[in-house]
Amino acid sequence: MIKLEAAELAARIKTEVKAEIDGGLSACLAAVRVGDDPASAVYVRNKIKACEEVGIRSEHHALPESTTETELLELVNSLNTRDDVDGILVQLPLPRAINETAIIEAIDPAKDVDGFHPINAGKLAMGRPVFVPCTPAGIMELLDDRGVEISGVNACVVGRSQIVGRPMAQLLLQRDATVTICHSRTRDLVAVTSTADLLVVAVGRAGFIGRAHIKPGAIVIDVGMNRISDPDEVRMLFGSEAEQRLDVVAKRGATLVGDVNPSDGAAVAGMLTPVPGGVGLLTVAMLMKNTIKAARLRRQ
């Protein structure tokens, strides 16, 4: 089994972005976070750190949990009007009292570096993408970098979110793959996934995809990022690597696992993205690429 590690590619993408900044193109990303969700705080911190690495100026607007939808809309609108801000990122999920759809639709499509605005989603669906959601875009970069043939393959995407599943299916379809989308209502999931040459999994359930779901030799892209701490679960999922992961649990309180059972995936798949060290690195790198693209387009 070949590990589809992404660190080298992510570093290369960031280097390309830095070269544009060093060449005189300035860019600014405004990141907005509402509330105290620990995972959101880590994600935003990683994005701000990546901006520092490549030379993109960043702003971090950390708002309290009590922030109202009206207040958040006012902030988004003010960032829309500022000429010195090129990209706007509102970290999801938002508190329940705030309508996520209303916030996403309020972002200027020209500054929507997450690619979630209906205008950008529509352009992607029409085969004329401007800003593509960062995780699917990064997966396509990884497949191309490894020389994976996409045209004609049977591809299966497990998960139908607007962030990963649906745009991923669109990108694969536009590259002439035969695409099936599976979800929580799919009957006999194993029968569908086990025929896929390329399997992309984004369901948010630790180790959900097992040996029976994977076609021998298939390329498996694991988008999941789940924290687990139960020693029995760690041993069940990681097999021979369990002791190393238990050391991580002892030091950090938990270890990361994807949506694919790692020991099953390693035994059956031809290629598999590791967690961590896989798709997550590319998501941040592609955000940098989208931000510099937004800056370039706005100046044109």
| Active-site annotation holder among 108, 114, 197, 264 | 114
Question: 204 — alpha (psi -120 to 50), left (phi > 0) or beta?
Answer: left
Verify whether residue 18 is a known catalytic residue.
no
Cα separations in angstroms, 202 against 40, 92, 128, 135: 18, 16, 24, 10
| Active-site annotation holder among 14, 47, 111, 215 | 47
Residues near 69 by Cβ (< 8 Å), separated by ≥ 6?
97, 98, 99, 102, 103
| Active-site annotation holder among 14, 86, 91, 222 | 91
Alpha helices in the chain (DSSP H): 7-22, 38-54, 69-81, 100-106, 118-125, 134-145, 165-174, 189-193, 231-238, 242-252, 262-268, 279-299
Note the maximum CA span of the chain.
Answer: 56
Verify whether residue 170 is a known catalytic residue.
no
Verify whether residue 47 is a known catalytic residue.
yes
As beta bridge partners, residue 63 has 34
Q: Annotated catalytic sites, by residue?
A: 47, 91, 114
